[in-house]
A and B are shown apart, each in its own frame.
Chain A
Amino acid sequence: MATLKVPVTSGDHAQGKANAAATLVEYGDYECPHCGHAYPIVKQLQEHFGSKLRVVFRNFPLREMHPNAESAAESAEFAAAQGKFWEMHDLLFENQEQLGGSLYLALAQELELSPRALVKALEAEEFAERVAADFSGGVRSGVNGTPTFFINGQRHDAPFDFDFLAAAIEKAMRPAKKAPRKKSA
């Protein structure tokens, strides 16, 4: 079974406590319709599990298929550098149909980030390395499309409907059964 090869660190974009009972890592692409479909499901999971669940998002832009995926990912990283990753992440998914330069600028304005600085960052590919590192780590971990979820480090191979994900998270939260101890004679 595929496992997460790059551990979650403080450099990750995370919502929730580091010591939460379960960590859900999503490798996603802002232009992928399936990720768009998963977006409200993840929110629902966060509501359902509360502080018991930590959610992490990593970039996995499928550049050949989705021409705006890379620029969207870099825009989110730009916002992250100013402490507004999740705000931008949410807005990008909520406006998935309109990805592109003019949307990024409008969203930057909405989040009170400098649109000019964003244009500069995108032109200079300032955050391309960060996005590429996420991608590369994802490939090594067995990401097999978008979205790919890992629950406590294990790839989730079942569908990503709420029920399936919630059941897998609950299972991961349960303490591992201890092997019965042999009584010494």
Chain B
Amino acid sequence: MILAFYPADFSPVCGDQMTLYNEILPEFSKFNAELMGISVDGAWCHQAFAEARHLHFPLLSDFEPKGAVARKYGVYRSADGICERALFVIDKKGIIAWSFCSPIAVNPGADGILEALGKLPK
């Protein structure tokens, strides 16, 4: 499973991380990997975002208690009230096999995820 923390719904269109991942879902499914996006946005905001961008994967809402999941993963930015742009690849046993925290303004792309998925035992 790929868990992708991101700061907020509705960032600028063509460079948007979730929109990009939506386009590359087939590349992820080659590895039998499920993608989930997660941010502190509420469920209704997520719904509007998912509809606007035609997203075909679930968005999780880390809204109440705010950022609880992000804190557990160590990727909450208390000063800003949002989570980092952080990626986790979790294997079948629930163990984090790979993680990466990108500078908040830089969309990390998917090369790291695909490389990590490729290294997981089949």
Residues of chain A touching chain B, judged by Cβ–Cβ distance below 8 Å, are: 2, 5, 29, 32-35, 62-65, 136, 139-146, 157
Q: Is the interface of A mostly helix, strand, loop or mixed?
A: loop
Q: Cβ of B19 < 8 Å from any Cβ of A?
A: yes
Q: Is the interface of B mostly helix, strand, loop or mixed?
A: loop
Q: Cβ of B110 < 8 Å from any Cβ of A?
A: yes
CA distance A63 to B106 in the complex (A): 22
Q: How far is the CB of A185 from chain B (nearest CB, A)?
A: 44
Residues of A within 8 A of B95 (CB): none
Residues of B within 8 A of A34 (CB): 14-15
B19 lies within 8 A of A62 (CB): yes
Known contacts A35-B14, A64-B22, A136-B27; 16 further A-B pairs (Cβ under 8 A): A32-B14, A62-B14, A62-B23, A64-B19, A64-B53, A65-B19, A65-B53, A65-B54, A139-B24, A139-B110, A139-B114, A142-B110, A142-B112, A144-B17, A144-B109, A145-B15
B13 lies within 8 A of A65 (CB): yes
Q: A34-B14, A62-B14, A65-B13 are in contact. Are A143 and B53 (CB under 8 A)?
A: no
Residue of B at shortest CB range from A62? B23
Interface residues in B16-61 by Cβ distance below 8 A to A read: 16-17, 19-20, 22-24, 27, 53-54, 56
